[in-house]
Amino acid sequence: MVDQSAVEALADQVQSNPKYQHILKDLVLRLCEDALAKGEKPKTALKSVRNKLHQIGGAYFKQKINYSQIQLDLDELPDDLHDPQVQRFCLTTMQAHASSAERLPILEEFFTTCLDPIQPVTSVLDLACGFNPLALLWMPLAAGCTYRACDIFLDMLQLVQSFFTHFDFDGAACPCDLAHQVPGHKVQVAFLLKSIPCLEQMDKAISAPLLEAIQADHILVSFPVSSLTGKQKGMPSFYRDHFYQLLSETGWQIREFVFQSELAFLVTK
């Protein structure tokens, strides 16, 4: 039995680093407990938990994000989602997160192509969302579409919620540790964009039960085609084989889409 006071102390140490300060506390506690349960000494555990958090999501932030300034910029925007100023704001903000930044050159093509078989989209659950909700301008969403987003970064979720609120959009952003619990919202389509490799850093067996648990008629799943440093290393073929193996016994319909910077699958349950 791991001493919970030791777990709490380690979690406080982990989050004393500003890079990990705003990550969902329950996730940090769970990783700390796992590290100590393995017999790791506090100094080693501190390093291993921070390394795990970096792999899960920290690596996608190219630099420290000034959320206060972004919020001020958002507050000054007109309330028309289709105003050119709003589009520029969304593109600039998405540039701050490596995952959404990689998608910018193919943004309109990506969502138009992948969601065409099921449009208009009436409800979305965006899992491990990052700044992707700011791409809703480029998605074929129906009038009155509901959008639920979740992630482990609380400061980012606060900004996403402010974005929904500013435009009076029917959206909600909530913290969620997908390795522990999957949101129970029933939706037309769920997004799981470039997140499976990160989640498998925590649990190599997480993907199949996660996909099964998602309450959606369709799931848009994607994988990177290169590492964050730009190296391909056979990633498209590796992730394609891995994904088809994950779903080999489900009988679900799979549509595959290949883009310059992303490999995507639209799964119909």
Q: Can you give the pTM of this predicted structure?
A: 0.93
Please, are residues 219 and 269 in contact by the beta-carbon 8 Å criterion? yes
Q: Any residues with CB less than 8 A from the CB of 256 and at least 6 apart, and which?
A: 240, 263, 264, 265
Q: How many Cβ atoms are within 10 Å of 229's Cβ, its own excluded?
A: 6
pLDDT, mean over the chain? 93
Question: What is the predicted pLDDT for the residue at 167?
Answer: 97
How is the chain split into domains, by residue range? 4-56, 67-268
For a pLDDT cut of 70, what percent of the chain falls above it?
A: 98
pLDDT at 158: 97
The string of pLDDT tens digits covering residues 101-137 is 999 999 999 999 999 999 999 999 999 999 999 999 9
- pLDDT per position as a tens digit, 26-84: 999 999 999 999 999 989 999 999 999 988 887 777 778 999 999 999 999 999 999 99
Q: In sequence order, what are the residues at sequence separation of 6 or more whose Cβ sits closer than 8 angstroms to the Cβ of residue 226?
A: 232, 233, 235, 261
Architecture of domain 67-268 in this structure: 3-Layer(aba) Sandwich (3.40)
Pull the structure tokens for residue 65.
């994000």
Other C-beta atoms within 10 Å of 239: how many?
20
Confidence band (pLDDT; 50, 70, 90) for 269?
A: very high
Q: Within 13 A of 186's CA, how many CA atoms are on the CB side?
A: 0
Q: How confident is the model at residue 86 (pLDDT cuts 50, 70, 90)?
A: very high
Joined together, the tokens standing for residue 116 give 């065409």
More confident residue, 188 or 60: 188
Q: How is the beta sheet containing 187-193 ordered, strand by strand?
A: 171-175, 141-151, 121-126, 187-193, 216-224, 262-268, 253-258
